[in-house]
Amino acid sequence: MDLGPHAAFIIASYAIVTIVMVGLVAWLILDGRRQQRILDDLEARGVHRRSRGADVAR
Amino acid sequence: MKTTAQTLANPTRFMSLSGNLLPWVSGAAIVVLAYGLYLAFFSAPPDYQQGQTVKIMFVHVPSAWLAMGVYLLVAISSFGLLVFRHPLADVSAKAAVPIGAAFTFLALVTGALWGRPMWGAYWVWDARLTSVLILFFLYLGLMALRSSLDDETLAAKLTAILALVGVVLLPVIKFSVDWWNTLHQPASVLKIGGPAIHSSILTPLLVMAVGFGLAFLAMHLMAMRNEILRRRARALTLSHVSRADAGTAAAAKG
């Protein structure tokens, strides 16, 4: 595929979009795992949400 | 009978629904983006004036639409917090801001990379580019304001007020190309009289826009879920600490 004389600008545009979007998704996945780990640690120490029983019942 | 908004107002219900929805939205985003990229690189012809650089439009324009659309969502969520005190409104606003900032950054950078070969300059201080740069700073300002306050309730309210004040920027961005003499081209898709782009280029653009929209929806759901978990962990930690303090005080009395 010939991207013409300005290929570098086209490739750079798609590269930066890919980097930022993949980076965002990676950050969200890692942050989610971190929050879940913190909650699991708290529950392992016997700290529970009062509504947890109600959640399970739902 | 509960409305959909009232049903979703329960964070636990939202976690359940979003957990079921997220894999489908993510999968749809990947499929649509892959199809959009195929159309962009193997179907769309070079533009008669811009040549192959028109391909930059397929990522620049969806990023720019999302930059504004996400801000509108932040403003609506902020309104929901201030007026209706919807429990998920602040979660939605807080989760959307960094993603909106990222898409605004992408609109600015891809615009600069498109501008250099077409205009001969990466940047000009014209009304459209400058107003989008201000939008980017507004997103950063919302993040900075929220993180500068320890009181989460106060931070949410002040951030919501700033977000609502900043919404005035959206029509300025949209109509800047009509109100002022700018280097940036006027609207060619969302305009009265219909799009001024040939369907061979418009179709990949719209497919990429749908793909970007789905990607944003998936990321926003993920960010909202993370924020709900963060708030749960914080609430648990605070209640645990206060119970421990009460126990220590009771032991000291005894």
What is residue A55's predicted lDDT score, i.e. its pLDDT? 47
Lowest mean pLDDT: which of B55-64, B197-206, B232-241?
B232-241
What is residue B65's predicted lDDT score, i.e. its pLDDT? 96
Rounded to the nearest angstrom, the minimum Cα separation between B113 and chain A is 6
Cα separation of B21 and B63, whole Å? 23
The answer, yes or no, to whether residue B9 has pLDDT greater than 90, is: no
Q: Mind listing the pLDDT tens digit for each residue in B114-124?
A: 999 998 999 99
Q: What is the pTM of this model?
A: 0.90
Residue B132 lies in a domain: yes
Whether residue B32 contacts residue B62, with contact meaning beta carbons closer than 8 Å, is answered with no
What is residue B87's predicted lDDT score, i.e. its pLDDT? 80
Cα separation of B193 and B186, whole Å? 13
Say if the Cβ atoms of B110 and A47 lie within 8 Å. no
Range of the domain at A37: 7-41
Residue A58 lies in a domain: no
Say if the Cβ atoms of A2 and B113 lie within 8 Å. no
Cα separation of A48 and A53, whole Å? 9
What is residue B5's predicted lDDT score, i.e. its pLDDT? 63
Range of the domain at B57: 4-185+195-229
**Count: domains in chain B:** 1
pLDDT above 90 as % of chain B: 67
- Bridge partners for B163 per DSSP: none
Residue A48 lies in a domain: no
Q: What is the DSSP letter of A32?
A: H
The answer, yes or no, to whether residue B221 has pLDDT greater than 60, is: yes
**Count: domains in chain A:** 1
Residue B46 lies in a domain: yes
Whether residue B168 contacts residue B175, with contact meaning beta carbons closer than 8 Å, is answered with no
Q: Mind listing the pLDDT tens digit for each residue in B81-94?
A: 999 888 899 999 99
Q: Mind listing the pLDDT tens digit for each residue in B97-156?
A: 999 999 999 999 999 999 999 989 999 998 999 999 999 999 999 999 999 998 989 999
Rounded to the nearest angstrom, the minimum Cα separation between A31 and chain B is 7
Secondary element (H or E) of residue B111 = helix B89-119
Select from A9, A21, A51 the Cβ nearest to the Cβ of B114: A9
The answer, yes or no, to whether residue B18 has pLDDT greater than 90, is: yes
Residue B239 lies in a domain: no
Residue A47 lies in a domain: no
Residue A53 lies in a domain: no
Q: How many CB pairs under 8 A join A and B?
A: 95
Residue A50 lies in a domain: no
Say if the Cβ atoms of A16 and B99 lie within 8 Å. no
Say if the Cβ atoms of A35 and B229 lie within 8 Å. yes
The answer, yes or no, to whether residue B167 has pLDDT greater than 90, is: yes
Q: What is the DSSP letter of B51?
A: B
Q: Mind listing the pLDDT tens digit for each residue in B150-163?
A: 898 999 999 999 99
Contacts of A16 in chain B (CB under 8 A): 106, 109-110, 113
Contacts of B25 in chain A (CB under 8 A): none
- Assess A3–B contact: CB distance below 8 Å, yes or no: yes
Residue B116 lies in a domain: yes
Say if the Cβ atoms of B56 and A4 lie within 8 Å. no
Residue B16 lies in a domain: yes
Residue B62 lies in a domain: yes
Say if the Cβ atoms of A6 and B51 lie within 8 Å. yes
Cα separation of B217 and A52, whole Å? 28
